[in-house]
Chain A
């Protein structure tokens, strides 16, 4: 197989795609309701520390993921309270949530773990082979020999797509993001829908954070999210607020990211391409693609606008 399509490269692509798409789906649900969540990086970081600590203390990754989801949801609800009830500027509040998440996470970790000579670790999730599908040559190893959260990400892409575009509730949610006044006039409780979207989307963000220590490193470090929350935010725009397109975007980004790591260790490339350039490659790619894709893309019309039925537009 060529350097571009070997199994290990594509397997790694799927592994790194999962946290991006899970966060991206959460953000899509939130933004579809009309709330812009720029605090995503902080929320994902909180999910990472909560997921790690709960897994460490209970010995159960499921419990860790559940509490990570809960913590993500709670922090997103704080954003919702300021954005929906207090009608504050969503960008300002979002940035506040970002800083809060980034600040509170190491504090929680220090309170729980303290200063130690050896940091705590949890066993990372094992790969689960899907019967029959995993033995399909090439494809089986890439798609169906992954950990449980990668499978969850496949399921969530389908589930969120179905929810947003095939269910009455999804239609109402989108209506709140497009034209909250019209939604209000037909009896939809805009505030409740937006709160619900934030609570649900926050669950996804928390799980995306927990993915990193529970699958990749088995440990928590302050820097573990390292901009991946922002990438998910970008992928929402890349995917034009459509889960399936965001999935494609996450796949492409994860592929380019994995590819640059692959070629950076090959002597024939390492000699001629500076490592700094290779590290930039996924981001350059993302920017180029985003500039192309963003042309003509439109977000929900009421995105980032607080809704007040007493005020005329």
Chain B
């Protein structure tokens, strides 16, 4: 009698497990049945509390949101990225994300060679991509435009600085839109900009910021990643009040008296969109990353209430598309 009931119980359990695995409609199981695995390639260390940390957050978010296995590789130079991606593919990873525009060429090279694998890349354009690639288009120039408005309203010396690291098309376009915003809000303001050659060297960024401050700049818009800490130190040591902005993560707590605003850049929503679509079977597509989708204006402070209100209004106009911004990526051409 006891054996009979044990057999029935075992049979019922086996049937339930089989059904649970087979039915795709049950939440979480559709993914497991297809056995998708997601990996992301990051250019720097995840403890940077900045760009690479944002990439790390993507892998954590995908794991939580879609209940699939995820992995990440950090400190991967473009020269190593192909090898790392191939290792992931050989290990059964079916979705490979690349965090950074420097990997575009590798994605375009690997995608035709591995048609069953899905790739996600970040770029600064809406170009044609292979049929197994999702393109996340980062509209940095739209995100930085409100900072131009803020700088124009906040500067007292009428000298605004922009410090960038590498001459990426995104940053050139952003300097152009900042200059357009300055022209609208404060035509008297002069825009100085410099490229330090490195996104993460706080020493070079500090030297550049010191040079700008000595030249009368009192508002610096940061386009460097970890270099921002050098800029903040320069602002703290300056003889006149200097305000700075930052992006990717909020760093206001590092210098509450000097930060005027943060452009939060969160890669989780666009990556989640791309991965979600891949899981539904849509293997190629385009996700614009812009104000309202990954970009958010935060921690505006140390400026007048009027400046904050006008900056927020400018952000809303960009978000809703009610103003058309210049998109010039090849060269910095300041507004005349």
Contact = CB atoms under 8 A, between A and B. Distances in A.
B45 interface: yes
A261 B208 contact: yes
A193 to B, nearest CB: 35
B198 A124 contact: no
B251 interface: yes
Contacts of A16: 203, 207
B121 interface: no
A160 to B, nearest CB: 24
B140 to A, nearest CB: 19
Interface in B162-210: 167, 190, 192-198, 200-204, 206-208, 210
A215 to B, nearest CB: 9
B167 A261 contact: no
A9 to B, nearest CB: 7
A178 B203 CA distance: 37
B211 A265 contact: yes
Contacts of A261: 194, 204, 207-208, 210-211
B171 to A, nearest CB: 12
A264 B48 contact: no
A267 B195 CA distance: 13
B49 interface: yes
B226 A221 contact: yes
Given A8-B214, A110-B47, A224 B192 contact: no
B233 A217 contact: yes
Contact of A118 (B210, B212, B217, B249): B249
Interface in A5-34: 6, 8-9, 12, 16
Interface string A261-295: 11011110010000110010000000000000000
Contacts of A121: 229, 254
Interface in B227-246: 229-230, 232-233, 236-237
B99 to A, nearest CB: 15
A158 interface: no
A73 B253 CA distance: 35
Given A12-B210, A262-B214, A265-B194, A223 B226 contact: yes
B253 A118 contact: yes
A119 B49 contact: yes
Contacts of A118: 49, 249-251, 253-254
B76 interface: no
Contacts of A222: 44-45, 200
A24 B215 CA distance: 31
A110 B45 contact: yes
Nearest to A19: B203
Contacts of A221: 48, 200-202, 226, 229
Chain B residues touching A, range? 35 or more
A212 B207 CA distance: 12
B30 to A, nearest CB: 30
Contacts of B195: 264, 275, 279
Contacts of A6: 214
A146 B317 CA distance: 47
Contacts of A262: 211, 214-215
A10 to B, nearest CB: 11
Given A117-B249, A118-B254, A265-B211, A218 B229 contact: yes
Interface in A56-103: none
Interface string A102-114: 0000100110011
A118 B43 CA distance: 19
A310 B68 CA distance: 66
Contacts of B229: 119, 121, 217-219, 221
Nearest to A258: B207
B103 interface: no
Nearest to B57: A117
A212 B203 contact: yes
B161 interface: yes
Interface string A206-246: 00000010001111011110101000000000000000000
A132 interface: no
A217 B251 CA distance: 14
A116 interface: yes
B25 to A, nearest CB: 36
A41 interface: no
B167 to A, nearest CB: 7
A191 B114 CA distance: 59
Given A115-B56, A267-B192, A106 B45 contact: yes
A218 B205 CA distance: 13
A224 B202 contact: yes
A109 B45 CA distance: 11
A116 B49 contact: yes
22 contacts: A12-B210, A12-B214, A115-B46, A119-B47, A119-B50, A121-B254, A124-B233, A217-B203, A218-B229, A219-B229, A221-B200, A223-B200, A223-B201, A223-B226, A224-B202, A226-B198, A226-B201, A262-B215, A265-B217, A267-B190, A270-B193, A276-B197
Interface of B: 44-50, 53, 56, 161, 167, 190, 192-198, 200-204, 206-208, 210-212, 214-215, 217, 226, 229-230, 232-233, 236-237, 249-251, 253-254
Given A124-B237, A226-B203, A265-B192, 12 more contacts: A109-B47, A118-B251, A119-B229, A217-B202, A217-B206, A217-B230, A218-B232, A222-B44, A222-B200, A261-B194, A264-B208, A267-B190
